[in-house]
Chain A
């Protein structure tokens, strides 16, 4: 079955620790995205990648880092510099990013709690 996987579903960390969230897709999509979702707010874009070895900052990239070494994988690292890391993190992919309609497919999400 094609889809996007994120692991783990729940993650707990102590303040000051870096943590990496995984995202893998087998849809052969070129574009991948990381969003953060907080209660009462829309999805906010952290980073996106249109092609392997290239990625762009979204609206709230500070305190986060990503890599795109393989088409299938787009891990997100939440660093200790991120002031409010506790949130629901969603990874998505789409066939492309320009030229028209490209629906985004979402993974199940990782709920990160930092105390």
Chain B
């Protein structure tokens, strides 16, 4: 079956670095997305990886290892506004997104 696993909740301190992991099993693979979702709001796009390696975009970076079915989202210099859920989604062979349940990130001062 198709499955996405990510931790349910993480806590970090303002100004620190946090890494949110995601493992996936899909029938075929056409890339992995990370989205940010604040409570009660719509998800917003953060990153897309289809090749192995690290993609950096400002304070946020995303890594993919296709052979291991693994990705992580790295958030640096954490700010209070980064408190949100982070959703991992893998694209299967039909180009449909398979979504993880999301990781709720709590930032403490």
Contacts and interface: CB of A to CB of B under 8 A. Distances in A.
Given A101-B48, A101-B50, A103-B33, A43 B42 contact: no
A84 interface: no
Interface in B77-109: 87, 89, 95-102
Contacts of B87: 42-43
Contact of B42 (A58, A100, A107): A107
Contact of A104 (B4, B31, B40, B97): B97
Contacts of B96: 45, 48, 58, 97
A98 interface: yes
Given A42-B4, A98-B95, A103 B102 contact: no
Main secondary structure of the interface of A (DSSP, over half): loop
Given A42-B4, A43-B87, A108 B99 contact: no
A104 B96 CA distance: 11
Contacts of A103: 33, 45, 48
A97 B31 CA distance: 13
Interface string A98-114: 11111111111101000
B99 A43 contact: yes
A106 B48 contact: no
A42 B48 contact: no
B95 A97 contact: yes
Given A42-B87, A42-B89, 11 more contacts: A40-B101, A43-B87, A48-B96, A97-B96, A98-B95, A101-B31, A103-B33, A106-B42, A106-B44, A108-B42, A109-B42
